[in-house]
Structure 1
Amino acid sequence: MNPGIVIPDPVQPLSPVFGRPSHISREREPAHIEVARSHYRNLKVELDPADRTYWCFMQPEGRPSFTPELLQDITDMQLSIQRMFVERADEEPPIRYFVFASGLPGIYSMGGDLGLFIEKIRVGDRAALRRYAHAAIEPIYRNHIAFGAPIITMGLIQGDALGGGFECALSLDMIVAERSSKMGLPEILFNLFPGMGAYSFLSRRVGALVTEKMITSGRIYTAEELHEMGIVDVLAEDGKGAETVREYVAEHGRKYNAHRALIQARRRVNPITLGELRDVVDIWADACLGLGESDLRKMARLTAAQDRRRAAIMPIAAE
């Protein structure tokens, strides 16, 4: 097996296809055709074979947040990438870069499934909250380790990335954001904190003091502000996000080996483990049960606002 491929202890059972003999791998169709035939209800995926970049666009069927259905599609997509590398271990890797973007105009992601949270909090169902949180943090962790594959992951932000949407972007190796995009952690507005990795990822980037200030203020930042803080890696002009990603890949492709090794060193020096992320989401689940009715009403208003945003862009998203 290619020594650059590291499949970590799985957080979900992996497909039996991982044990497929190498001679079958050689008979497989080209990777970009295989990816083009992948169908997900809440994602659109494509592989550009020229620059070996895998593009994944979130297109949730309902509210523009991380619904259980979207989380399942993300998990399935991530495991398919792992299988692709294992099955082609004796070939030139088909992917060097992974780009996680959104197919919704003006929205990257509005974060966690607030409607589900309200429902489970009102009946005191900690187990259901914890199940959701673990189902969310496992794909976040796979992002962080680049699915155990020798690739560089990038978040492309075109619009709003709030709460869990911002956390998802932070879990990737790099963030490319269009200038007018907005990112932030508004959970404090309804007396909660962002539990899906914000503290872990931000504190490694900007330190605990700045992280806690960002969380407790609930402030929404522009991409330009976050670029100045070192949180956004590449700033793109509005409408030029995808073009900027392609230009970056073309310009830095020659340094791919060094860049990927540097990211591996970053993970080793400032490790974030799945255990750490799980412990934090368990704290989050307990905090959810401490919310009062006034907090839940604020959460409900945000949920309604998300629904209105989705309704407003539905004709555009369907084009």
Structure 2
Amino acid sequence: MASITGLAKDLVPYPGPVPLRRRPTTARRPSEKRIAPTVSSPDHGLSELAQIEVNLETDTSTLWAFMRPQGRPCQNPEMLADFSRLQDGIERGFGNGSLDLNYFVFGSRFPGVFSLGGDLSLFASKIRAGDEAALVGYGNACVDVLHRNMNALNLPIITIGLVQGDALGGGFEGLLSFDVIIAEKGTKFGFPEILFGLFPGMGAYSFLARRLGTIRAQEMILDGRTYTAEEMHELGIVHVLAERGQGEAAVRAYIAGNHRRRNGQQAIYRAAREVNRISLEELRKIVSVWAAAAMNLTNRDLSIMERLVLAQDRLRGRAQAAQARTVTARGPAGSTR
């Protein structure tokens, strides 16, 4: 895998899926059964994540993880490295019996945004430098994480993508790797890559073609438009619609209502992966197609990409200003989430 500065040293090449692991049957001391509620566990390395907040709710055996991007709300190399370490930590905890887990929920703390997708600033700089290998390395890092997630780490758990803000480009791609998508009404989904002459190359076509058929998948990728959560729900991409501001409550309601059938449901999702198998090799081949296409972008295409980066920077600035106003209003005794 080609390396990117700050990425290769943190990511270990993903070898591919392994057989489903069952829950350990060895006896455990009561104090070892679960991580303390709503506290990240240093034992699994989860407290060391710089851009992902992790909490465990022991009453439902649910691990909640929220992106807290440093900079633009996109999938920067450090964010990818954090997600890979998070997956490693879950596997370690499950493997040694110290992590009792039924659900993994993934969302974002960035106001109004789930994820705006790939690191466009990185893309533009590597394309201008003619560094196709770096693009392949970035893309492979993305699909390695995505492939592990779409297989639920080969664990008997259910993965849930929680959408409380817009999911565009690679952000939308990442959501498609979850078993269940719960989205607040009015949130937006889409693939804007065609606007600057590219396509989403980290799984979108593979997932959508299997869910919607190749013709509808191509239409969605090529039209460049945004879709509402309501439209995604009609297509069957979003499974549960939540009212604005009620996303987390909707996840908890879903988990509570799913208690009796959880075991059968996670087995059905596993069976579905066998029927609609997506190999890591397929994903990596598409990454290579994407990287080669990126090297053919014109200066005009790159200028559009860089203008989008500036727009993302302005969005980040507004979010930071709003957060600062909130902290000031709460006073020194207040606290932020």
TM norm structure 2: 0.85
Mapped partners of 1:201, 1:10: distance in 2: 22
Mapped partners of 1:113, 1:159: distance in 2: 18
Q: Deviations over 1:116-165 (max 9, x none)?
A: 00000001101111111111111111110001211000100011100000
State whether structure 2 residue 218 is matched by structure 1 residue 209: no
Task: Give the deviation of 1:314 after TM superposition.
Answer: 1.6
Task: Give the deviation of 1:23 after TM superposition.
Answer: 8.0
Task: Give the deviation of 1:29 after TM superposition.
Answer: 4.0
State the secondary structure of the residue aligned to 1:154: strand
**Gapped regions of structure 1 (runs ≥ 5):** 1-8, 14-20
- What is the aligned counterpart of 1:31 among 26, 34, 37? 34
Quickly say closer, same or farther: Cα 1:52–1:24, change in 2 above 3 A: closer
Q: Deviations over 1:87-123 (max 9, x none)?
A: 11xx8x6110100100111000000000000000001
Quickly say closer, same or farther: Cα 1:308–1:146, change in 2 above 3 A: same
State whether structure 2 residue 55 is matched by structure 1 residue 46: yes
- What is the aligned counterpart of 2:81 among 44, 64, 72? 72
Task: Give the deviation of 1:25 after TM superposition.
Answer: 7.1
State the secondary structure of the residue aligned to 2:260: helix
Mapped partners of 1:22, 1:257: distance in 2: 17
Mapped partners of 1:23, 1:317: distance in 2: 46
Mapped partners of 1:245, 1:236: distance in 2: 9
- What is the aligned counterpart of 2:143 among 117, 137, 145? 137
Map residues 120-159 of structure 1 onto 2, 5 A cutoff. 120-159=126-165
Q: Deviations over 1:208-267 (max 9, x none)?
A: 111000000011000000000111011111100000000000001110011011101110
Mapped partners of 1:134, 1:25: distance in 2: 38
- What is the aligned counterpart of 2:111 among 90, 98, 105? 105
Quickly say closer, same or farther: Cα 1:307–1:25, change in 2 above 3 A: farther
Mapped partners of 1:303, 1:40: distance in 2: 25
Aligned to 1:17: none
- The 8 Å contact of residues 139 and 287 in structure 2, kept in 1 or not, is answered as yes
Mapped partners of 1:160, 1:207: distance in 2: 24
> What's the % identity of the aligned pairs?
48
- The 8 Å contact of residues 144 and 171 in structure 1, kept in 2 or not, is answered as yes
- The 8 Å contact of residues 32 and 46 in structure 1, kept in 2 or not, is answered as no
Map residues 230-269 of structure 1 onto 2, 5 A cutoff. 230-269=236-275
- The 8 Å contact of residues 22 and 87 in structure 1, kept in 2 or not, is answered as no
Mapped partners of 1:23, 1:259: distance in 2: 25
Task: Give the deviation of 1:39 after TM superposition.
Answer: 3.0
- The 8 Å contact of residues 179 and 238 in structure 1, kept in 2 or not, is answered as yes
- The 8 Å contact of residues 103 and 317 in structure 1, kept in 2 or not, is answered as no
**How many residues matched?**
301
The aligned amino acid for 2:315 is R
State whether structure 2 residue 188 is matched by structure 1 residue 185: no
Q: Deviations over 1:14-68 (max 9, x none)?
A: xxxxxxx998975974432373442311010001000111100001111110000
TM norm structure 1: 0.90
State whether structure 2 residue 17 is matched by structure 1 residue 11: no
State the secondary structure of the residue aligned to 2:69: coil
Greater mean deviation of Cα atoms: 95-104 or 22-31: 22-31
State the secondary structure of the residue aligned to 1:45: strand
State whether structure 2 residue 295 is matched by structure 1 residue 286: no
State whether structure 2 residue 67 is matched by structure 1 residue 58: yes
Aligned to 2:9: none
State the secondary structure of the residue aligned to 1:31: coil
**Gapped regions of structure 2 (runs ≥ 5):** 1-11, 17-23, 325-335
- The 8 Å contact of residues 183 and 220 in structure 1, kept in 2 or not, is answered as yes
For the aligned residues, what is the CA RMSD?
Answer: 2.2
